[in-house]
Structure 1
């Protein structure tokens, strides 16, 4: 029963841009108070009270546009690992992972989304203080700065297929 109530709800702004994820209680209150509209419900799930039954929202849209300053996705180890699917971007291993600057800091490389990748300890040691080209190593995917939709799509693929039509496709 508890897992059922922990299902997340995608929140869209009035322009249908994703702005966050809330629990079902918050989503229900927003829709009940006419501050949001449920666009999609989870099938076979309902919210029951003593005398009423309500649909369980999967995606809601706010009824008024909210100007939310864009903060972007936080650059940290966990988010980098998620972006790179917890695999080495050189050999594909998922063991002994660390971070690697594609262009080494000593050669002017920045600590940024576009220069950091997930690498296994072995590949990182082989590459050393060289660029991938200098080390003769090819990247499986090139680093990029993900947006909120990218991570929401990752979650949706595993837990909330109902969200997918409302999210931008994955970046490559």
Structure 2
């Protein structure tokens, strides 16, 4: 079971285990604002609500430029596991400008690709192949990318994650 942690300003910070969230609540560092119904946690002397969403009592400073690291899984997720060239199911990633020609491992130069398109394209650019990209590759943004673990979202969290988008 996981819990969404909101900063004192109600912007999403992280998703933590329910145990970690409960420790924050017990130490008065956070308060429960959404709970799991009919499933309290019973201690020796006290009963606590099982937290689904908590808000910190003090504001935590977050670095401005939270850059999302470039990963194979991230590129596939950004492109919806669809090939950037033909639209079929993608299992690999492709450099739009090949690495042998100075192409970087960046969000703007990587697209999801099916195995067939990746092999046919080889060491060429889409322009040389007379292919067009179905999307413009760019760095992802939004709470679902900056809040770790939010890709497997709980319906209770949706209103709080939408505020940050």
Asked whether the 8 Å contact 1:42–1:162 carries over to 2, the reply is no
**Residue 76 of structure 2 is aligned to residue 75 of structure 1:** no
CA distance in 1 between counterparts of 2:163 and 2:9 reads 17
Indicate the structure whose relative CO is greater, using CA pairs within 8 Å and at least 6 residues apart: 2
5 Å-filtered alignment, 1:50-129, equals: 52-69=46-63, 70-94=65-89, 97-129=91-123
User: What is the aligned counterpart of 2:152 among 155, 158, 162?
Assistant: 155
Greater CA drift, 131-140 or 10-19: 131-140
Does the CA-based 8 Å contact 1:40-1:57 persist in structure 2? yes
Aligned to 2:37: 43
CA contact (8 A) 1:11 1:18 kept: yes
Provide TM-score, normalisation by structure 1.
0.76
- Label 1:140 to 1:48 Cα distance change in 2 as closer, same or farther (>3 A): farther
User: Comparing both structures, which one devotes a greater share of its residues to strand?
Assistant: 1
Asked if the contact 1:150/1:168 (under 8 Å) is kept, the reply is no
Offset of 1:106 from its aligned partner? 4.5
Gaps of 5+ in 2: none
CA distance in 2 between partners of 1:169 and 1:138 (Å): 35
Match of 1:4 in 2: none
Give aligned pairs, total.
161
1:11-52 superposed Cα distances (whole Å, 9 cap, x missing partner): 121222222111011101111221112222233433233564
Looking at structure 1, the residues matched to 39 and 84 of structure 2 have their Cα atoms a distance apart, in angstroms, of 40
Q: Does 1:25 align with 2:25?
A: no
Distance (Å, rounded) in 2 between the aligned partners of 1:89 and 1:42? 40
1:170 Cα deviation from its structure 2 partner: 10
